[in-house]
Every structure is written in structure tokens, then in C-alpha cells.
Amino acid sequence: MAGEERNLTNRDDSRPVRVKVDNVKKIYNGRNGEMVALNGVTLDIHDNEFICVVGPSGCGKSTLLNIIAGLLEPTSGAVYCDGKEVKGTGTDRGVVFHQYVLFPWLTVKKIPVTKIEQMAGCLL
Ligand SMILES: Nc1ncnc2c1ncn2[C@@H]1O[C@H](COP(=O)(O)OP(=O)(O)O)[C@@H](O)[C@H]1O
Ligand SMILES: [Mg+2]
């Protein structure tokens, strides 16, 4: 998704747009310098539409989903959910992770209750 612009807004669909991804760019500042993970990603998801984001490992799928979820901020561009700009996590969006995102180095008893509440707040 970093190499070329993808505009998926021109589909013939009269249903209201629930999620709008508007010209999103994401640059990570990694150990080896800047990494353009997303560039010019534009996408409308309509009411009751089921979308699959498919692509090879490293093409930016998780980055895009994390930006829609509000877990990551785009470098430029914006995401709107029901017309409201996404500025963080919210009760209108949920994420099911495909990996453990808890604290694998802690036992259940050692995880601070405040942390669990924070995480639950993120997901609810
Ligand atoms: N925190 C990060 N710092 C630097 N580079 C990252 C970071 N997260 C992801 N990347 C890089 O961004 C690109 C897209 O990653 P990602 O969104 O995880 O792709 P996918 O989910 O499609 O496998 C990859 O090249 C990955 O190495
Ligand atoms: Mg991924």
C-alpha cells in the first residue's frame, strides 16, 4: 500500500458511508530511518458492508486497521467514523487481535487491575 495510491471510493454504492479513510499516510521512524507503511490510502466502507483487506506480509494491513481503531495516528490524512474524525479509540469501533496483546511476562495475579480496566475501556 506504500507504493501507489489506492482510491476505492468510486464504487457504485448508495448506502451511507460509515467509515471513510481519507488519503492516509503513515511513516514509521524505525531503527533504519523512515519507513512509509501507507501512502495515499483512500477507502469508503458503507453501511452493512463487509470488507477484507488482503495483501502480502508487511504491506500495511495492520497499520491501516490500527489507525481506523484509533490505536495509531496517521502521519497525514484522516479517518472518519459516521462523519466524526477518529482521534483515538472509541466505543463505536472494536478490534479483535490475531495475537496475544496482554502481558505474557506477568501472571494473572500480577497484572495491575488498573491496567485491565484501561484495556477493557479501550475495547468496550
Ligand atoms: N512500529 C513500527 N516501526 C517501524 N516499522 C514498522 C512498525 N510497525 C510496522 N512497521 C513496518 O511497516 C510495514 C507495514 O507493517 P504492517 O502494517 O504490520 O503490515 P501487515 O500487517 O500488512 O503485515 C512493514 O514494513 C513493517 O515492518
Ligand atoms: Mg499484520
pLDDT tens-digit readout, 26-61:
999 988 899 999 999 999 999 999 999 999 999 999
Q: Provide the 10 A C-beta neighbour count for residue 119.
A: 14
Q: Would you state the pLDDT for residue 72?
A: 96
DSSP string, the chain: --SS-EEE--S---SPEEEEEEEEEEEEEETTEEEEEEEEEEEEEETT--------TTSSHHHHHHHHHTSS--SEEEEEETTEEP-S--TT-----SS--S-TTS-GGGS-HHHHHHHHHHH-
Q: How far is the CA of 30 from the centre of ligand 1 (A)?
A: 10
Q: What is the pLDDT of residue 108?
A: 74
* Contact residues for 86 (Cβ-Cβ < 8 A; gap 6+): 67, 68, 70, 78, 79, 80, 93
* The pLDDT of residue 112: 72
For ligand 1, is residue 33 a contact (CB within 6 Å)? Answer: no
Sign of the Cα pseudo-torsion (54, 46, 22, 65, in order): negative
pLDDT of residue 55: 95
CA 40 to ligand 2 center in whole angstroms? 19
pLDDT under 50: residue ranges of the chain: none
Give pTM, 2 decimals: 0.81
pLDDT number for residue 30: 86
The closest residue, in CA terms, to atom 6 on ligand 1 is 28
Answer whether 107 contacts ligand 1 (Cβ < 6 A): no
C-alpha cell read off for 58:
508487511
What was the pLDDT predicted at 96? 84
Cα–Cα distance for residue pair 86/103, rounded to 1 Å: 27
What the chain holds in terms of domains, given with CATH numbers, is: 6-91 (3.40.50.300)
120 φ/ψ angles, rounded to the nearest 5 degrees: -60, -40
The pLDDT of residue 73 is 97
